[in-house]
Structure 1
Amino acid sequence: MKRFSEILKLIAPFLLLLLGFCLDGVVKYNLDFLNDKSNNGLPQFMLMMLIIFAFKFTMSKEIVIYAAIFGLFYDIFYMNIFGIYVVLLPLFVALIYILKDILADNFIIEVSLYLLSLIGIHVIVYLLGLIFKTVSLSFADFITYTIAPTVIFNLVTFIILLLPISWVTDKIIEFRRGY
């Protein structure tokens, strides 16, 4: 039983990120308002969990490694292009680690950094799509039909889920410390 407990301590964040990864696809394809012709909102539960982990865990290579692993999963399952999320997610998580030490640790900062990460990643992916000619959407349409619904949906879900995910993350940290 002790061995199972030790394994669970290591993989608990991985399991939460896996849940977020799966929710990204399930929610995207099952909520009609995220998929109509005038709206292409993208849920980002996995990114939300990575940002919360970055705020809760001390500077941890583990979370950056998880970001790279799930970035690879994201590239394979959702992007069909290797390398975009596998680079961007660890980069943004590392940036969050740097910024959280400079800025005050509070709800507004956490929401702001999540939204900046969300927008930053999507704009970079859009610009890479323009460079590689895989995107035909104008920047104005991209802002209107992708970024705006993505930000609105994810802001609401972040505000709703921040406390429960933070509570679970705190329990994982306590569990790892042996409290």
Structure 2
Amino acid sequence: MAFLKNRYFLLFTLFLLMLIDGQFSYLMSSVFTYHVTISSHLLLLAIIYFYHNQTKYFTIFSSLFLGGLYDIYYLNRIGIVILLLPFLVIFTNSITKTIFSSNFQTLTFFIIVLFMFEIVGDVCAVLLGMTTLTIANFIAYGFAPTLIFNILLYLIFQKLFKKVYFNA
């Protein structure tokens, strides 16, 4: 059972969650019209629980590694998530354990992390010329459905992720 709490094994499960996120996102976006894009962020939910109490060097190097894999797999270029994910992980690591005492506080923190990931990622994509979508269209057709879907995922998976990743 100690193997399941090994941080390197849990880091591998974060990679698997990244792949599962892609499948959830594809499934949900194919259910709705082509204007609506829904992104699953189970990876961010697991990261909130996993990185809150890790060492500084493990946090930075593993988040750089995961960010690089995310960039290559989803964006076909390195640049956005490889920089954004370490900042979010350092932000998560700096939060005290008291934020996890209440489900409402954790949900609020998850919404903040999700907001930062989506909005900063979209602004970077616009600046790099990867998208021409306006911020109003992004919020209406991308961020709002993504936020609602991820709140539902939080309500479903929160207890499981807290049990698996918290204090690992």
- State the Cα distance separating 1:103 from its structure 2 match: 5.2
- State the Cα distance separating 1:147 from its structure 2 match: 0.4
Post-superposition Cα deviations, 1:61-104, rounded to whole Å, max 9, x if no partner, equal: 42443222111110000012212111111111111222336857
Structure possessing the higher radius of gyration over alpha carbons? 1
1:144 aligns with 2:140: yes
Match of 2:35 in 1: 38
Give the TM-score, by structure 1 length: 0.81
Alpha-carbon spacing, 1:144–1:133, altered in 2? closer, same or farther (3 Å): same
Amino acid at match of 1:48: L
Extract unaligned runs of 5+ from structure 1. 174-179
The correspondence for 1:26, drawn from 12, 23, 28, is: 23
The correspondence for 1:48, drawn from 36, 45, 48, is: 45
Aligned length: 167
Match of 1:164 in 2: 160
CA distance in 1, matches of 2:165, 2:5: 13
1:129 aligns with 2:125: yes
Extract unaligned runs of 5+ from structure 2. none
CA distance in 1, matches of 2:165, 2:4: 16
Match of 1:69 in 2: 65
* Aligned Cα root-mean-square deviation (Å): 2.5
Preserved CA contact (<8 Å) 2:59 2:90: no
CA distance in 2, matches of 1:169, 1:10: 9
